[in-house]
């Protein structure tokens, strides 16, 4: 089971949209994944045991976990490239 955390800057509106799309992507690709959500400022306390962090806010910090910028799930721009980056991590 792969564990993904989706983080946004403020409330959880954009992370909810992104998390749902990541769940759909994992299901479509046959990858068992647990997708949870949090705020960016909570990542330090929630990163343990996580395989991938997807953010809808700009993040420069190194969490020791692969980070994919997931604004494409909100804007629709570069969706395929973003999905491929996520799959590259989840298929390892």
Tell the residue number behind the tokens 């998390």, with chain if given: 19
The residues facing 8 across adjacent strands are 39
Could you identify the residue written with the tokens 């395989």? 51
> Catalytic site residue 38?
no
Looking at 5, 6, 7, 8, which residue is catalytic? 8
Contact (CB, 8 A) for 40 and 55? yes
The pair of three-digit structure tokens given for residue 92, joined into one six-digit string: 């390892």
CA 48: distance to chain centroid?
15
Q: Which two tokens stand for residue 57?
A: 């806010």
- Residues known to be catalytic: 8
């Amino acid at each position: 089971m792969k564990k993904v955390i989706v983080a946004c800057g403020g409330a959880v509106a954009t992370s909810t949209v992104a998390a749902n799309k990541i769940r759909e992507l994992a299901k479509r690709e046959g990858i068992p994944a647990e997708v949870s959500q949090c705020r960016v400022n909570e990542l330090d306390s929630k990163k343990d045991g996580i395989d991938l962090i997807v953010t809808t806010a700009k993040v420069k910090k190194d969490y020791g976990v692969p980070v994919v910028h997931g604004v494409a799930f909100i804007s629709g721009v570069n969706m395929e490239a973003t999905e491929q980056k996520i799959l590259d991590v989840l298929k390892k």
